[in-house]
Amino acid sequence: MSSEQDLIEAINKIMPFGKYQGRKLMDIPEPYLVWMHQKGFPKGKLGQQLALIYEVKLNGLEDLLKKL
């Protein structure tokens, strides 16, 4: 899988649990992602996707990616 495919998949992934269950990862508020980053993202692919979305939001790139 390419980095572009990973990014597209992360943007469109639905949060499977927690306060924001049912929302796309890209739609999770930044403060919640910061909190998760401090606590530690879950292991596995979901954790990698959350970390990627965290970095996107931290760097203010979400507007560039909403088209994906």
What's 1-68 look like in SS3? Answer: CCHHHHHHHHHHCECCCCCCCCCEHHHCCHHHHHHHHHHCCCCCHHHHHHHHHHHHHHCCCHHHHCCC
> How high is the mean pLDDT of the chain?
90
pTM score, two decimals?
0.87
Name the stretches of the chain with pLDDT < 70: 1-2, 66-68
What residues have CB less than 8 Å from 22, skipping those under 6 apart? 14, 15
* Domain edges within the chain: 3-65
pLDDT value at residue 65: 74
pLDDT value at residue 1: 45
